[in-house]
Amino acid sequence: MTPLDWPDFYFARHGETDWNRERRYQGTKDIPLNDTGRMQADASGVLLRELLERDNVDPLSLRWFASPLGRAAETMERMRDAFDMELPPVVLDPRLLEISFGTHEGRLHSESRANRHWRVSMTAGITGPSRARATMTWRCACSISPAN
């Protein structure tokens, strides 16, 4: 399969958590959705349903994947509730986990930015936000391609 004939992918980020609101690094810590995050997940489900209807995509034909972290799995389940039908099961795939921030998980962004060594390690090898996004998207797409 070449990149030109890949199927469409629909990505969604998990809803808000208290740590997101507080600007804390979460990484692999399993912080649950808050009320805002649950509303965001519900709204994302409606949006996804509308996108699939617009594009004439049968949701039963899709493969559904989520990170095994509770906030991602709950976001996925709440999004799927918008479809009012029995959808294929969700695959909770550990390859979709967020990166670990190690000892910085739970720290405020402002605390970590003050640490020069942390800034260097977080930016090593990355030339900008678009590169990081492209790398993440490629990794996810390769992880869940039909060949895997």
d(CA 67, CA 30): 11
Residues whose CB falls within 8 Å of the CB of residue 41, separated by 6 or more in sequence, listed in order: 14, 15, 33, 74, 75, 78, 79
d(CA 22, CA 4): 41
CB atoms within 10 A of CB 58: 8
74 is annotated as an active-site residue: no
Are 68 and 97 spatial neighbours (Cβ–Cβ below 8 Å)?
Answer: yes
**Residue 141 parent element (H or E):** helix 129-144
* Residue in 16, 53, 86, 98 annotated catalytic: 98
Beta bridge partners of 91: 65
117 is annotated as an active-site residue: no
* Residue in 14, 16, 74, 104 annotated catalytic: 14
As annotated, the active-site residues are 14, 98
